[in-house]
Amino acid sequence: MQYFVYDVFTDTPFGGNQLAVIPDASGLSDADMLTIAREFNFSETSFVLPPENPAHTARVRYFTPTRELPFAGHPTIGTAIMLSDLGGGEDMVLELGVGPLVAKAKDGAASFVTEYPLDIKGKPDITLVARAMGCSPDVILSQPVLASLGGDFVFAQVKDRKTLSKLSPNLDAMREGSALFPGNHDFAVYPWVDEGDVIHARMFAPLDGTPEDPATGSAAAPLVALLCKWRGKPVDITIHQGDDMGRPSRIELKAEPGRVTVAGKAVKVMEGRLTV
C-alpha cells in the first residue's frame, strides 16, 4: 500500500507539520487506520477513499494516534496538494466528517473554504487554562474561549511573544479541563499573541498524543473566525506557528462572517509502501 509524507504549511522540507497520506485506503478498517496512524505517530494521518457522491473528488478520513477527527486543517491542505501532484484537477470537493469541503490546489499550494458555523462551546476558568499552559493567570489578556469549526480548541491570548515561548503544558491541569469540557480533542490549548495582521501561536494537545503541534489549521480557522467576530470586520492574517519547535509554519487565513478561507503550501519529503 503506497504512502506519502508531506510537510505542510511550508515550502521547505523538514519544516511545517508532518502528514502521512494513504492515497488509496480502500479495504482498510477503522482499526487498520488507527493502527497505521499510530505507526506514523504524526499529529494526523490522512486516508483517501472513493467519494460517496461521484461528483466529488474523494472522501478523506483523518486519524490522530488516538482517534478519528471530523476535520483537520493541515491534512486537508496536504491531501489536496497530494491529489494535485498525482494529476488531479485544481478544483476539488473533499468529503470530510463535517461534510463536503471545497478546496483548490496547484503547484504545491492549496486553499479550502469552510462555512461550518462557529461554535463557542464554553469559557474555561482562566486559572485552569493558565495551569494547563504552565503560566500565571496574569499573562492571559482575556477570558479563554473553547470554540470550534469542527475541531475543539481552547483559545487563550497571552501578552507577548516571550511569554508564548516559555509556555509548558501541565498534564494534570489538562486532564481536569478534559473532564470539565469533553470534546473531539482532550482540552487542546491554542495560546496566541496578537500583532495585528500577524498572529504567533502554539498548540498543545498532549492528551491526544501531540505534545505540541507545529501547524494546526483546524485551530487557526476558528481563531480567525473569532477575530472576525471580535473585531467586527473581515480579517486577513498570517499565523506563525512551530517556530519554537524548529519547524516554522505559515498559515494564511481570511475570514468574513460565516466563511473562513485557509491557505498554505506543502512539500513532499518521503514516499514508500506499507506492508499490511
CB 49 within 8 A of CB 60: yes
Rounded Cα distance between 202 and 215, Å, is 8
Non-local (6+) Cβ contacts of 74 within 8 A are 8, 9, 16, 17, 19, 43, 44, 215, 216, 217, 264
Among 39, 44, 95, 256, which one carries the catalytic annotation? 44
Q: What are phi and psi of 258, to 5 degrees?
A: 80, 5
Contact 48, 62 (CB under 8 A): no
SS3 category, 183: coil
Distance between start and end Cα atoms, the chain: 7
Confirm whether 44 is a catalytic residue: yes
Enzyme catalytic residues = 44
